[in-house]
Amino acid sequence: MATYKEIQGIKIQSLSSDPPAPFIGEVWYNSTSATIKYRQGATSAAWSTGGNLGGSNYNIRGSGTQTAALSAGGYPDLDGTEEYNGATWTAGGNMNNSSSDGAAAGVQTASLYFGNDQGPKAQTEEYNGTSWTNSNTMGTGRLALAGAGTQTAALAFGGAPGPGVITDATEEYNGSSWTNGGALPSPIERNAGCGTQTAALSLGGEPPPSGTTESKEYNGSSWTNGGTMNVVRKKSGAAGLQTAALAFGGSPVPAATEIYDGSSWATTANLSTGKNETTGAGTTTAALAFGGEGPGGKTSTTEEFNAAAPAATRTVGVS
């Protein structure tokens, strides 16, 4: 095997401390920490493929993180769930109700699913990482709503209580029951949501048939206008927090991705396969998009988002 000197023409320096301004690609041995280090250049944001869903892939709802996500409900299985470990999806516990087009919140081992277009539109189910339990129903049953928060402090906002009816209702869940929150400025459905119960974000959505560039911010009691997105969206995915959010996919530009800093939206790397009616999990630095409608039909693909990173000094793992 070639040595570093044979490849680079120089030896790796042995230094008692890291050089003050290493150049990109420079490698050195830090004799104090007994580690090999190198300077990595800045990297841009990127989507990469993750493991493909094995069951339902449409109208599913996601929660959790990039390396521990949950997919719940959706077509064709309706009551199925799947758990992602950062590489592959495996079957989780079945839901009590056939479910699709609801909303989800929480993490993989403590997730909440609420709303439905299959049966009881006011349903709420809690997942403990193994099995689902029915909880108290929402005051306003609906589908095509958005959600945010955790299993014990969730938020439901917007949606369609019935055919041709759209609501502005917001409800807050405390781990047991739902109470009314501040209403959205206007009725909206097929919006996406992220954040927490007291700092949530609603983005995109519609009164039919078009989407919107608008986002709305919730402070625990009322909604105000947030930043304007660069593209119109409905049925998109969302991840992150109110002040650090990611919007991806949806209609009519299913590959477009944007990042929000709490005041303005900026375009970032596109999905490699456009995803309408998609869902997601995670944060702006490590998000997940899975399922939906790709170009030409339903897609079981998963994509992992990793944010841009500045140049940094890294340590080489040596075994």
Partner 1 sequence: MAKTHQYCVAENWGKGFIEKNDSRKIAFSGLPGNVWQVPAHNKDANLWISKVLGVVKTRDEAQAIVDAEVTAAQNSWDALSDERKANSTRPADIILEE
Give the residue with the Cβ less far from partner 1, 140 or 257: 257
Q: Are 290 and 304 in contact (CB under 8 A)?
A: no
CB of 297 to partner 1, least distance (A): 4
- Would you put residue 181 in left (φ > 0), alpha (ψ -120 to 50) or beta? beta
Secondary structure of 51-117 as H, E, C letters:
CCCCCCCECCEEEEECCEEEEECCECCCCCEEEECCCCEEECCCCCCCCCCCEEEEECCEEEEECCC
Q: Which positions from 82 through 101 interact with partner 1, judged by CB under 8 A?
A: 87-88, 101
Q: Which positions from 109 through 128 interact with partner 1, judged by CB under 8 A?
A: 117
Give the residue with the Cβ less far from partner 1, 308 or 316: 308
Token pair in block for residue 269: 């790397």
- Would you count residue 59 as binding partner 1 (CB under 8 A)? yes
Stretch that binds partner 1, among 29-37, 41-49, 191-199, 237-245 (CB under 8 A): 41-49
Binding mask 128-157 for partner 1 (x = CB under 8 A): ----------------x-------------
Q: Are 295 and 254 in contact (CB under 8 A)?
A: yes
Q: Which positions from 238 through 297 interact with partner 1, judged by CB under 8 A?
A: 251, 255, 269-270, 272-274, 276-277, 293-297
Q: How many residues bind partner 1 (CB under 8 A)?
A: 34
Of 135, 56, 64, 130, the C-alpha closest to 93 is: 130
Of 96, 72, 95, the C-alpha closest to 83 is: 72
- Would you count residue 63 as binding partner 1 (CB under 8 A)? no
Stretch that binds partner 1, among 50-58, 125-133, 150-158, 256-264 (CB under 8 A): 50-58
Residue with tokens 């079945």: 94
307: Cβ–Cβ under 8 A, 6 or more apart, which residues?
Answer: 45, 259, 284, 285, 286
CB count within 10 Å of CB 88 equals 13
How far apart CA 82 and CA 232 sit, in angstroms, is: 30
CB of 59 to partner 1, least distance (A): 7
CB of 277 to partner 1, least distance (A): 7
Give the residue with the Cβ less far from partner 1, 80 or 274: 274
- Would you count residue 60 as binding partner 1 (CB under 8 A)? no
- Would you count residue 48 as binding partner 1 (CB under 8 A)? yes
CB of 78 to partner 1, least distance (A): 13
Give the residue with the Cβ less far from partner 1, 101 or 172: 101
From candidates 46, 153, 183, 253, binder to partner 1 by CB under 8 A: 46
How far apart CA 123 and CA 102 sit, in angstroms, is: 9
How far apart CA 95 and CA 275 sit, in angstroms, is: 25
CB of 21 to partner 1, least distance (A): 25
CB of 105 to partner 1, least distance (A): 22
CB of 41 to partner 1, least distance (A): 11
Of 137, 131, 127, 80, the C-alpha closest to 105 is: 127
> Which residues would be at the binding site for partner 1 (CB under 8 A)?
43-44, 46-52, 58-59, 87-88, 101, 117, 144, 163, 251, 255, 269-270, 272-274, 276-277, 293-297, 301-302, 306
